[in-house]
Structure 1
Amino acid sequence: MGKRAIRKIWKMGKRTIWKMGKMGKRAIWKTWTWMITAIFRIVRRIMIKMQINRKTATKLLIVQWSRFQELCVNLKGSTLFTGVNGSGKSTILDAMTYLLTGNTQFNKAARDRDRTVLAYVRGDTKSNGPSRYLRTGEIISYIAMEFWSPADNYFLVAGVCVESANETSQKSSWFVCRNARIEQINFAKHEGKFLRISPRNELSVNGQSMKSADFFGRDRGVEQIMRALGLRCNPQKYRSKLLKMMAFHPENNIDQFIQECVLEPGKVESLKELREQRQRFEEIREVFENLKESKDRLEEVEQKSEEYENKLNALHIRELMLCYQELQEAEEEKRETELNIQSLAQKLNAFRERKKDMDQQYSDAGERCRIARNNDIFQGMQGTLSELKRQSEKLEQEFGQKEEKLSALKSLQIKLTELFPWIDQFFTISEEDKKRLCHLAEEHFQTEETIEAFVRFGELARRQDKAFETDEVHFNDQLEDLEARISELENKIKQLKANILVFPKEIEKARKVLQREFESEGIHTEVKIFAELVQEIQDDKWRGAIETFLGRKRFYIIVDEKYCRQAVKILQDKKIYGVNAVLSEQLPVTDVTPGSAAEILNIPNANARKYANYLLNGIHLCGSMEELHKYSKGGLMQNGMLAKSYAVSYMNISKTEFCLGQDAVKYQLLKAAEEKEKQLAKKEEVQKQKEQICRWREKLQQIDWQAEHYDFDSAQSLADISERNIRIRNDLEKISQNPDFMAVIQEQQEAEQEYKRLEQARDILIGDLKGCEKDLENLQIELEQLSGEIYVKDQEYSEKCLKHLELKQQMLEEYEKLREKKGICQVITPKTLRILRGEVEECVRQMENAQLSYCKLAEIDINKRGVPYIPFFREEYRNIANVKIEEVHQRLTEQSLKLENAFMNDFVAEINETIRDAKREIAAINQELKTLPFGKDTYKFVIKEKADREIFFRICRKLEHYMDTPEVYMNSAREDEEMERDIREFMELILEEEDETEYTDYRKYFVYDMEIASRQGDSEIISDLSKKQGSASNGEKQTPYFIILAASLLQCYPRQACCARLAFIDEAFSALSRERIEQMVKYLEDNHFQVFYAAPPEKINSIGTYIESTVSLVATGRYTNAVEGLVREEEAFAK
């Protein structure tokens, strides 16, 4: 409206001058005077209207502040405080900014960081000695400013009272008095030569005391003052903008200037939380790495333990083999002795044949004697005698034969008598037959009946022997099965005692195949069995029921989710039947159902936990049959009663072998030991039965059941022969006594000599025969001794086999291979055992070194090493590999997710939001700058993303697809690999950066410049300020910086609001020329700032000319006084 009026007056003046062109100079001058006066009045009305929207500071009071004892000056619009260096120009600006914003960064323009509120209040001169402080004791200081509010049509006073009881303490209280002026408040009064300062509790306005509730602390007080001045911006932000303009220093770097003086520092508090999360992540990762290292060390311990156990098994096999070898050598020696006996028997037979020949010769010599004796005289008598002798000899021969047959019959009678006590349990024998068979060698029974009884009994005995043979074969089969079972149990017990949990062989074999195939494909993951991933069963009462219900599912293979498909493919390709792999990637993640069987199992592994929840969440643990009936879809009782799919069954939990939890080894060991005892007892019973059968068979086989081989009539025949022989001998004795035989004595003597010679030869032969028999007897004794030795060695071997039954079969196979290779029984020597014992000792040493290494790493007792501690280290390994490392890995995964969430949801989101706020602020300043041209120039901020922050901006751009919210992305599937890589890379950059502000200060994410649009005629030339830094004059370089600060500060002063529009400039325009100073002052005045300048006296002409008031500061002694200079009235300004 004012501009239109001015243009109208100007056009009227031109027309008037044109019409009055011939009236003369006087008329023209009067016309020009009228035009200028009218324009001035319009401008004045515009200025008054603009000042209606500004709360103007009209007076300043400073009491006991630095060198000012009492200073009260009038302020008419913008004011210049001038004076020589040290006169206190900056001190006044510090006082006003302390009052208005609570600022304590005093004298920032002078780079003096030693000034404090306490130093100002006490008047610290920085000198040495007792006179350092201008004021001592209890000090009260005041800073107050009076403002005129045209909208409210009243004055108001804003002040701060600073009370200092001593040189180390001070307390400040802010207050606001509306509808009051400075002189109406009793801050201080002169009493003679003394100045009395009113304490805060005695302060009054127009005689009315102020209440304690009228005073505020710094934050609340500053907020109240800003509200009173019509300011609604953030106090910290307002303070920062005021100080940046007040402490401005000439700059040559527009990028650095905008960062430090225009934009507020970034306050990203989330980095601390992010670092804490990272620290926790690193702590957990360190624990995880330590556990991995512990696991590696324990694997080394396990490897050395297995080497020791393998070597120890090899030693036991060799010891067993040596014992078996000695047994074989003894049996071989026995066989050789038996061969020697056989050879001697053949030799003995040869001697007996020779003896037979010798006996024939001897018989011929006897015949000669007989012929010599048989002459004519005695021929008749001798024939009778010879016949009688022949008959006697025949009878004697028959008697001998009958005696042998009777002896055989007596032996048979004894053997049969021994059979009767036990044989009748298998078949029935008549009492008559038994009686006959018990008296075979007696004469009381008829022969035919006895033979019939024997034949009947023999047939029954042969049948029973065949039955015994069948039973013996069955017993041998049972013993083989029992020995195999006992060997298996012994091996199992050894493993369990070594703290190795035993799983079915096919499962272990499948696991090894999967592990080997994974490693061949470069996949480093562990193949686990579900059972070993169960850490514990929390209530042991439910163990039997739960394990029985799970059954073979306990032995299902579990691998990492990523490798399930590969595991299935390996099972198919390698044709591994009867083994199940859990498809853990398909299992849903569910919580444990309270009261279910899943709640009983403690499982750290995430995949095993999912599978257990899937199997057991639907199985409710029931305490009674009523409760089981209630949960008919899925219920389980401790005794094994199971309800499933509306059907109930009773499971036999006694046959279930426990394998879940860390204490499963204990249960398996107890059960294996009990089973072994049962099997051993059963084997002993079977062995006894077999031995009994063998003894019975031996007794049966000792008897010749062929009836024709016995003379059942021998007893009666022997009696008859004896009687006949006695009669014949009596007849011979009678004939021998006849004297006619004396004639043939000579012939008989010669015949007898020959007979004696042969007899001597025969005796020698008999001696040799007896010698051979003696040798044979000795060999038989030796054979008996060998048999005893073999028995002892067999007992020793059996004992060793019982100790290492699981190694027996392996030893036998190895022995047979070595024996076949060497061709002799002796395949090893005691030296072999000594070497193996040395190797075992070396394995123990290596194992103890590995154990010691782990003890040092785990910081446990280093004495816990050696063979007895193998189970301890296996327990440690199982606890770490199956429990702890899984728990820590789970925690590490969770902490990694927390770290990423903290990074994205807190840090990235906060930085992104701060950057958006900064962009909005830059846009607002640009909008302000667009309406505030400086002459022909218009300024505009330009910000560009830094190239080294491309990762951050790429993340932010991708977040636009997720509602611009990191939380949405973090809860998504996160399948963008580039995004994931950028997140990890950017997070590492931030956390590894030593300079924290490099990434936490959002200002460092951009490159800043200022675009200058200059009007030159009808054209507009655009240039960047950064490119003009080298070619432009110093004033031309600095002017844009002031304009930027002014535009930034204007953000705190809304155009439509009636508010204070204060600005402070210390050491004002030190680098600007007079012309630029005048332009800047005019620019600030045109934009309705009330500026308080602090400048040296030489700036009065360039600054004071364009502002309304000037205050000169003059030092008088140790204090400073103020002299108010020219205050321009509006009329004078108009002139």
Structure 2
Amino acid sequence: MYLKKLILVNWGNLPNSEFEFGPLNLFSGGNGSGKTTAADAIQTLMTAAHENLFQFNPGQDETTQRGRGGKKVRTLASYILGCDDGSYARLNPTDGYIVGIFHPTDNEDNAPFAAMLSVRAYVEKSGQHKLAKQDSLQFYIVTNQFENKELSLNHLILDMGNNKSILTIENCYTSLIQQFGNNNVEKYDTKRAYLRRLYGALRGKKDAVSESEALNSAKAFSRFMAYKPVQSIDRFVSEEILEKKDLGEAIRSISGQLKTIHGMERDAARLTASIDILQQSSGYAQNYIDNWSELQFQHYLIAQYEFNTRQKSYLNNKEQQQHCQDQIKQHQQSIDITRDRREQMHEQRVALEAQRLGISALQEKDELAKRIKEQEKQLSRLAQGLLIEDKQLQQSASACEKIMNALRSQSLQQAMPELVSSNALKLTRQFEKFIKQDALDIQALLGKDLMNDIQMLEKQLDAVRELQSEQHQWINFWQFGKNDTQSMMKKVSAKLSRLEMDYERIARERQTKQKEIDKLDQSQVSYPDYVVRAIDAIRNSLPHAEPRVLCDHVEVTDERWQAAIEGYMGGARFSIIVHPEYEADAIRIIRQLPGRASKARIIQGDKAQRDYERLSLDDNSILGVLEFSHATAKHYVAASYGAVLCVEDTEQLKMTRRGVTQNCLASGNYSMWRCDIDESDLVFGIEARKRATLAKQNELSRLTEQWQMANDRMQSLKQLLHLIEPLKHLNVAHVLAQMLSCHRELQKLENLIQQIDLGDHHELEDKLNEFKQKEDELRQNEDQLIKQIGQYEEKLSSLKKAINKIADEQDKTQDTVERCEQSLQKISEDWPDIDFSARLELADQQIKGLDIALAYQQRESFEQQLHTAERKLDESIKAHNQNALPGDSVAYDVFNGEYNQALFRTVCQLQRQMDSIYNRLKNNILVEKHGQLQKLKDSFNNAFVSNLCHSIHQAINDGKRQIKLLNHELKFHKFGDDRETFRFDFEWLPEYKEYSKFFEEIIRNPELGDGQTLFEAKLTKSSQQVRDRLMNMLLDDDEDKALRDLDRIADYRNYHRYEIYKEVEGKPAIPLSEYGTGSGGQLETPAYIIRAAAITSAFRFSEGKSHLRMVLVDEAFSKMDETRSREVIQYLTDSLGLQLVFIMPTSKCGPYMDLITNEFVYAKCPSSVPRGELNTRVLVDRKVCNQDKIQALWQNHRNTIYQQAELDFMQSIVNA
């Protein structure tokens, strides 16, 4: 592509006009006439006046746009305002335009286009000082600029009739669209975007080139404008011949990724440290819980042991007390017997004495009196029996009344309805009626008058016999069956047993339900029994597996779907999660468990994760209403139930492969079913547990009512049984009959006594002495027994005091036992994993063989361990909180010095809090971190290997190839009389060769592309050192220094030392770095040659068909002779096919007139009409040269000069 036309509006002091260009163009004129101003317009169009890419008036000493030493430099705004020597041709805000129209050369097929730059500038005044300021800048690319319809001056300067007006930049875009169509007008607001699109259009592309290519092309164009002495061949080749590959962004990205990786690794390490500390803290908390539980257990054990010991002592003393009482009673009976015997001896002695006196009638009388006395004693004993029978009768009457009331009670009727339908009520009412008739009058029977009235006794006996018969019948009904049927008492007892079983069952259900509520209050779920046993087995066999239950880590965010989702998942909610490396061992352990415990499930964590990563979820998946606190839980539910959809109604459900509705209907396996679940069984999330707690509390209330009702019925039956069991048959009729017989015998004896005739009898001396001796012995025995009774009574008094003392102490011990039992129960309430009932049963078993001394030692040991656990827990939590993030810290009240239930409750809460944080950090956040870290490492590995290693390695090879291409092109061009040729060469720099070998080894390492990262790759020792060095640079805190070093390493041009050799046939090659001084024409020729190579490299002549083929040279060939200059021009135009625009003063352009096709002559002259602050104007004369005629004229001129030279030579010889 070449520049066919240049349009300038308000540019410097040049006239607003169009400039047509040919293949070889010359800007000539005097000094300060405006030649460079026109060239700077082209430079501005090609560089967008981008910083560090352009330099106005490059042929002069203004080598930069920064103005050193206070020197004013030309600017884009000053050109628009027509600044000349500090004065301005345009003082008002001014819009200016530069338009370049590019056409393809013969071998190019892309369409012509226009590049346009529009600028608005104004003069800023500060006192006497004026400064040109740029207000706005816009860029345009207008495509399809064919000759019949292309952008022209008339589009920018509007004809308004009598005067003309310049198009404002606000209307420019709209005007261009109106003229050329929206599809052909492209507007750009930034310089880089414009340059990318400009050089893309020059390359024949429909879109933009890369930023680095555009900037390199613009810089190469600007540098070619003026010859500057080459200070360093190496720098020249690396900076101007070889294109810089901008890897800065890749380096920053890689550095950022590596820092992110290291930051995440530090975060992961900190998380791991926090997890380790939390695990340690959890261990201390668990130790505290266990030790507190064991300590309270030891307290209870010791208290119960002391209670049992005192109870044994109490019972032993009571036994001794009973023994003493029995001995006293026996001794008293012995005394009575001895006294009776002594009295009998006394009577016999008296009888003998009477016989000795010879009174035989008295002896008969005494015998009758004795018999009367025996009958009276018998009557007394029968009276006591009668009192006992009366007491039994009163008990029967009381029991009858109570049984009657019990039978009328509602609880008894509900407990045993058959009592109402049987004869129980009838018989009891009948017996009650007999009782109330007072058939047995004890006071009357025991009175002497009634005793002597035998007829009254016989009448009383008949009434009592009838009462006794009724009582026997009533008792037989209750205690004995009829016709081999079961007795009512046994039926009541059997019913009571069943009620007691029901009562115990309901009590266990109540206790279980209360435990479930307590667990829910502690944010814990009551797992099925088989899950509990499976978890216990795994914990015992695999302590590091950390078994967890799925339901603890899932929450439903929309309660409307709670029951449906949980009902759909069913028993899978209680699946067990363990660390992946323990999954196989865990399921083997469960397989060996007996009974239903073997039905527990183990989640395949790794398999679920791999399937989850490949999973694509529907927007209506149930996962949309689920949240997780454990990564494995999320992977499992997503992989297993992610395909289950939430649907609105059954119409949608019937067409859904797997789905649920809010009203708990589900589909799957080509069927539909109900999937509802009781609220008390909900386990997913806090809200579900609240709902489950409320439902379980309702169930507990219902169970409590059943339990109370069963208790009432059980108590009523127990009361009835207690009333029935002690009932005994009355024997009062038999006693009364014996009493009647005694009365008859007494009447008979009394009549005999009255008939005795007393006479005289002799004394029997011997027998009387014998009886006296026996009477004395019996008296001594009686005295000895009385003495022993006194001793027993004394011991009994001592035992009574001991028993009272033990009883008082036992009350205190009982209080202690109850307090210890309450402490154990509170432990179970605060930490439901500890089974209160099981602990009590264990205590009952251990108490039997308890070594109390060892128990005291164990209690002291538990106290010490408790204190140690609390201290370590406090230290561990403080250590965790110092390193943890605010959201992960553990709230812990400072220990107040009291080891009590409140502290235990706090530790339990701490344990749950730490377990929650531990789970969130380890199984959720850390897993996510590791996943992100692995992805980042893979991304970094890919970026480092692909974006950096491959890029640098490829750039090094591209650089070599580019130099080879340049050498191939240059070897066909010879310059000067010596037929000089030029070639490029390079050699490795040792430092960079290490890096190159490292990059090559990385690229050729097959493992890096097969899942292995740069951190794990097996490299040679030197490559490992290079890798570590690069890693340190990427991680360096001094980012600027690190990026400079990395940019240096990433720049492939630094890997070689470059040289350019001049070769002349028959002579050794001369390196230009050692050739001449870098000044004068000696080095200017190769400078242009190699700069031409640089610009063809920047314009990518080796790629594609279309390229920019226009160069601009200011103050051209100032130090070369005519021959070399012409050779360079011919090389640029003929060999390289470049359009050349060069600038020369008029005095030096004569030798080149036969070469140029277009000449623009600039002249500054006074103006009759002031232009702003200027009184001058610039005129431009355009010439299109006929090269053939000019060459003929020049040839004739040469021939004339040659002839004149010959004549002058011959004349000099003649004159000599």
* Smaller-chain TM-score bracket: 0.5 to 0.7
Aligned to 1:308: 288
Given that residues 297 and 854 in structure 1 are in contact (C-alpha distance below 8 angstroms), is that contact kept between their aligned partners in structure 2? no
Q: 2:924 aligns with which of 867, 886, 889?
A: 886
Alignment correspondent of 1:165: 123
Instruction: Answer yes or no: is 1:630 the counterpart of 2:654.
Output: yes
Identify the match of residue 559 of structure 2 among 540, 556, 580: 540
Residues 268 and 910 of structure 1 are in contact (CA less than 8 Å); yes or no, is this contact kept in structure 2? no
CA displacement, residues 658-695 of structure 1 (integer Å, 9 cap, x when unaligned):
22124454455555656666666666666666666665
RMSD between aligned alpha carbons? 7.2
Contact 1:529 1:558 in 2 (8 A): yes
For 1:977, the equivalent position in structure 2 comes to: 1012
Gaps of 5+ in 1: 1-51, 66-74, 125-131, 179-185, 187-199, 962-968, 1112-1121
Q: Which residue of 1 aligns with 2:995?
A: 948
Correspondence for 1:21:
none
Q: Please give the alpha-carbon distance, in whole angstroms, between the structure 1 residues aligned to 2:490 and 2:336.
A: 43
What's the counterpart of residue 234 of structure 2? 254
C-alpha deviation, 1:1049, in angstroms = 1.7
Give the corresponding residue for 1:191.
none
Q: Quick one: structure 1 residues 435 and 752, their matched pair in 2 at CA, closer, same or farther if it must change by over 3 Å? A: farther
Q: Which amino acid aligns with 2:1093?
A: A
> Which of 958, 962, 970 is the equivalent residue of 1:929?
970
Q: Secondary structure at the match of 1:653?
A: coil
Change beyond 3 A, Cα 1:566–1:591: farther
> What is the alpha-carbon distance in structure 1 between the residues aligned to residue 1133 and residue 665 of structure 2?
96
Give the match's secondary structure for 2:1051: helix
CA distance in 2, matches of 1:1008, 1:602: 59
Q: Does 1:549 align with 2:512?
A: no
* Superposition map of 1:528-927 within 5 A: 528-534=548-554, 536-558=555-577, 577-583=598-604, 584=608, 587=611, 589-595=614-620, 597-603=622-628, 607-613=632-638, 615-616=640-641, 619=644, 621=646, 627=651, 630=654, 634=658, 636=660, 638=662, 640-642=664-666, 644-645=668-669, 649-650=673-674, 653-654=677-678, 657-667=681-691, 669-670=693-694, 702=726, 712-722=733-743, 724-725=745-746, 728=749, 762=782, 765-766=785-786, 769=789, 772=792, 776=796, 797=817, 801=821, 803-804=825-826, 806-814=835-843, 816-817=845-846, 820-822=849-851, 849=878, 857-858=886-887, 867-868=905-906, 871=909, 874-875=912-913, 877-878=915-916, 881-882=919-920, 886=924, 889-890=927-928, 893=931, 897=935, 904=942, 908=946, 925-926=966-967
Amino acid of the structure 1 residue aligned with 2:836: L
Amino acid at match of 2:561: W
1:381 corresponds to which of 361, 380, 385: 361
Q: Report deviation, 1:820.
A: 1.8
- After superposition, the C-alpha distances for 1:273-305 in whole angstroms (9 at most, x for unaligned) are 667777777787777666656555554554343
Deviation at 1:374, TM superposition (A): 0.6
Change (3 A) 1:788 1:119: same
Question: 1:115 maps to which residue?
Answer: 67
Tell me the alpha carbon deviations over residues 358-397 of structure 1, each in whole angstroms, 9 at most, x when there is no partner. 4266225513551364146662321231122122122023
Residue type of the alignment partner of 1:718: M
Provide the rounded CA distance (Å) in 2 between the counterparts of 1:266 and 1:364.
143
Identify if the C-alpha distance between structure 1 residues 390 and 1034 changes in structure 2 by more than 3 Å, giving closer, same or farther. same
CA distance in 2, matches of 1:686, 1:788: 36
- Superposition pairs of residues 140-539 of structure 1, within 5 angstroms: 165-166=123-124, 167-171=130-134, 236-245=215-224, 246=226, 250=230, 254=234, 257-259=237-239, 261-264=241-244, 266=246, 269=249, 295-296=275-276, 298-348=278-328, 351-352=331-332, 354-355=334-335, 358-359=338-339, 362-363=342-343, 365-367=345-347, 369-371=349-351, 373-375=353-355, 379-420=359-400, 421-422=402-403, 428=423, 431=427, 434=431, 443=461, 444-446=463-465, 453=473, 458-460=479-481, 495-504=519-528, 506-507=530-531, 510=534, 528-534=548-554, 536-539=555-558
The 1-side partners of 2:390 and 2:566 are apart by 69
Encode CA deviations 1:698-756: one digit per residue, 9 max, x unaligned.
Answer: 55554567x9xx574111221342454366458769989x9999999xx9999999979
Question: Counterparts in 2 of 1:1028-1043, with a 5 A limit?
Answer: 1043=1089
Do the aligned partners of residues 644 and 926 (structure 1) sit closer, same or farther apart at CA in structure 2, a change above 3 Å counting? same
- Which stretch shifts more, 858-867 or 604-613? 858-867
Tell whether the 8 Å contact from 1:202 to 1:209 is kept in structure 2 after alignment: yes
Taking a change above 3 Å as real, the CA distance of residues 1033 and 455 of structure 1, as seen in their structure-2 partners, is same
Change (3 A) 1:519 1:202: same
Alpha-carbon contact 2:971-2:981 (below 8 Å) kept? no
Which residue type is aligned with residue 1047 of structure 1?
Answer: A
CA contact (8 A) 1:259 1:1003 kept: no
- CA spacing shift, 1:369–1:528, aligned 2, 3 Å: closer
Q: Deviations over 1:1015-1072 (max 9, x none)?
A: 887x999x9x9xx6898777799987764322122454979999875455899999x9
Range with greater deviation from structure 2 (875-884 or 658-667): 875-884
Distance 1:786 1:696 in 2: 36
Q: Which amino acid aligns with 2:969?
A: E
TM value normalised by structure 2: 0.62
Q: Distance in 2 between matches of 1:82 and 1:872?
A: 93
Any conservation in 2 of the 1:122–1:134 contact (CA below 8 Å)? no
Q: Deviations over 1:182-214 (max 9, x none)?
A: xxxx9xxxxxxxxxxxxx99999xx98876679
Contact 1:938 1:1013 survives alignment (8 Å) = yes
Deviation at residue 340 of structure 1 after TM alignment: 0.9
2:1094 pairs with 1:1048: yes
- In 2: Cα distance, 1:273 partner to 1:634 partner: 45
SS of equivalent to 2:599: coil
Report the AA paired with residue 630 of structure 1: K
Give the conservation status (yes or no) of the 8 Å contact 2:382–2:735. Answer: yes
Q: What displacement does 1:552 show?
A: 1.4
The 8 Å contact of residues 161 and 173 in structure 1, kept in 2 or not, is answered as yes
Shift of 1:398: 1.8
Map 1:1010-1021 → 2, pairs under 5 A: none
State the alpha-carbon separation in 1 of the partners of residues 818 and 997 from structure 2: 81
SS at match of 1:406: helix
Which residue number corresponds to residue 1043 of structure 2?
996
Aligned residues: 1003
Q: In 2, Cα distance between the equivalents of 1:387 and 1:819?
A: 65
2-side partners of 1:1032 and 1:121: how far apart?
A: 35
CA distance in 1, matches of 2:330, 2:502: 49
Matched-pair contact (CA < 8 Å) for 2:549–2:577: yes
Structure 2: which 5+ runs fail to align? Answer: 15-22, 78-83, 107-113, 125-129, 146-152, 174-188, 408-417, 443-459, 829-834, 895-902, 1019-1023, 1162-1177, 1179-1189, 1203-1216
C-alpha distance in 1 between matches for 2:1086 and 2:42: 26
Specify the SS of the correspondent of 1:932. Answer: coil
Q: Is the 8 A contact 2:339 2:782 kept in 1?
A: yes
Kept in 2: contact 1:56–1:77 (CA 8 A): no
Residue identity matched to 2:567: T
CA–CA distance in 2 between the matches of 1:133 and 1:607? 78
